Amino acid sequence: MNTLLIICLILIIVLVIVLSIYFYYNLHHDRNLKNKIFSFGFNEKQIGLSNGTILHYGEGPQNGEPLLLIHGQGVDWKSYAKVLPELSKHFHIYAVDCHGHGKSSKNPKSYTAERMGTDFVWFVENVIGKPAYISGHSSGGLLTVWIAANSPKNVKGMMLEDPPLFSTEKGRSEKTYAWVDSFRLIHQFHRQNEETDYLIYYLKNSYWKEKFGKLWDAIIRQATTFRKKNPTGIFRVFYLPPSLHKIWESASNNDYDKYFGESFYDFSWFDNFEQADALAKIQCPSILIYAKNSKWEPYDENGILLGAMSEDDANLAHQILSQNKLVTIDSGHGVHDEKPKEFIEITKSILDQ
């Protein structure tokens, strides 16, 4: 066997190994990460409230002040996996599955800021047992605002991670990506009888369908095949990076009750919750993280707001909050997942405010 042939064989083997690692990472990038959470002293627990609600949560070791983490839509408490190990060295962490998510109760009647917030206040008082710092991502940030405004004695400080402040209000929400590619589709799905799997319905009607073209058609075919074998699994494509999987992962997640998204479509989630009024009531120290992604324009060609909120929204919220620090970071919506080191440092800084 000549030298050139040997070199070619070695290169082929190396390429196969590299591609295998890449494909495996695309399919299982978060599996080991989420499993490792428990090696850092975290335990999963559940608590039942007198109103029948079950709250499922992860609790870390007692290494500091209590920090309640409230995730955004479509995921669960383990979505904080990248930051939990380091944050748990500085805080006593409680990360809760929101109503309609993960292993917490799924009752559409409880999908309002007021009812969820009331349950979370109970959680602080009866499970944590003393005032806590609260960090909320996306809709979890809106919920954090409700809690801080309505139960100030239980909140030592808060951090709002790219919450959709003001952009979720009626008259504004209809021109946002979240409405066009999530809330509206969920509403339409619940009112048709042809497709029973929301993942497939979502892919066929997504905002991204025209933008990805033939690639999106291939994704739909693969999702259809996947669902026949895995009716409850999270759909991923082995040759696409995790950043693209995020587009449809909440649609693929059967532990996320889609009626939670419906409550943002009909605005029932905001019953008795005026965002500006709530912000004005908050007196505790706060940090507002505004994710301004340099890879995207703020609006698409049709005037659809692609981020959670606009820069004007962030500045307005900053002006209303009495003790706020506004942090603008170059990141996508999930700062704790995309920029974990920065998120950890920002979170730790709330102890100094």
Are 35 and 46 within one domain? no
Are 195 and 127 within one domain? no
Element (H, E) at 157: strand 155-161
Range of the domain at 23: 1-40
Residue 335, domain CATH = 3.40.50.1820
Are 30 and 47 within one domain? no
Domain count for the chain, please give it.
Answer: 3
Are 206 and 340 within one domain? no
Strands of 286-291's sheet in order across: 43-48, 54-59, 91-96, 65-70, 132-137, 155-161, 286-291, 324-329
Can you give 124-153 as a three-state secondary structure string?
HHHHHCCCEEEEEECHHHHHHHHHHHHCHH
Q: Cα(70)–Cα(310) distance, rounded to whole angstroms?
A: 22
Are 203 and 303 within one domain? no
Are 187 and 318 within one domain? no
Per residue of the chain (353 residues), give pLDDT as tens: 578 887 788 788 878 787 778 777 767 777 777 788 999 999 999 999 999 999 999 999 999 999 999 999 999 999 999 999 999 999 999 999 999 999 999 999 999 999 999 999 999 999 999 999 999 999 999 999 999 999 999 999 999 999 999 999 999 999 999 999 999 999 999 999 999 999 999 999 999 999 899 999 999 999 999 999 998 888 998 888 888 888 999 999 999 999 999 999 999 999 999 999 999 999 999 999 999 999 889 999 999 999 999 999 999 999 999 999 999 999 999 999 999 999 999 999 998 87
Are 184 and 290 within one domain? no
Length of the chain: 353
